Copies of this chain bind each other. A is one copy, B any other.
C-alpha cells in the first residue's frame, strides 16, 4: 500500500471529496491541514502554488478532480467499463455545473446573500431536476457505485447546509445522498471529521 499524504486547508472545500474517498475505502492517509497564516510561506513548496496536493510515495499530484479520479482508480470506483465511467463522469460534470451556480467569489456580503438565495431557490433546483430525470439506472447514477456518487453526496451535504430543503424536489437524489451517507465507513468519517464552516 503506498504512503498517501493529502495537503489541504482546514476546510472541507476542494479537499473533502478526496477525504471521503479515503474514508470509503478505509485507506490510511495523512490529512495535513495547513493553517491559512502559514500558507504564504509554504505555497512555493507546491507545484501549482495551490492545494489540494496528494503525495503518493513522494510523487505529487495537483488539481482536486485529477486527484479524485486517481484515487477512484486505486479504490475501484470507476465502474465496470468505459460506458459506465462515461455516465459517472457525466454525473460529476453536471454536479460541478450545479455547484458553480453558487456565488463563490462574490465579496460583498449583502450581494452574496441575495445571490445565494437566488441560486438555491431559482437556478439550482431545476438543474438538479434535469439530473434527476437522467437518473434511471437504479440505486447509483451509473448503475453501480462510482466516485461521482460520493462526490455528489459531498456537494449535496454542502447544499443542504445552506438550505435543508434543496433536495426536496428531487427524491432520487435525496435518497442517493442518504444512501451514501449511510455507508458505515463514510458515516464514521462524517461523524468524526473536524467541524469547519465550509
Q: Does A169 contact B (CB under 8 A)?
A: no
Question: What separation, in Å, do the CA atoms of A176 and B130 have in the docked complex?
Answer: 38
The dominant DSSP class at the A interface is helix
Per-residue 0/1 for A139-163: is the Cβ within 8 Å of any B Cβ (1 yes, 0 no)? Answer: 0000000000000000000000000
Chain B neighbourhood of A62, CB < 8 A: 90, 94, 134
Question: What separation, in Å, do the CA atoms of A116 and B130 have in the docked complex?
Answer: 32
The size bracket of the interface on A is: 20 to 34
Contact partner of A67 (CB less than 8 A), chosen from B64, B66, B86, B134, is: B86
Contact partner of A69 (CB less than 8 A), chosen from B48, B86, B134, is: B86
Q: Does A19 contact B (CB under 8 A)?
A: no
Contact between chains at B48 and A66 (CB < 8 Å) = no
Contact between chains at B66 and A73 (CB < 8 Å) = no
Chain B neighbourhood of A47, CB < 8 A: 130, 133-134
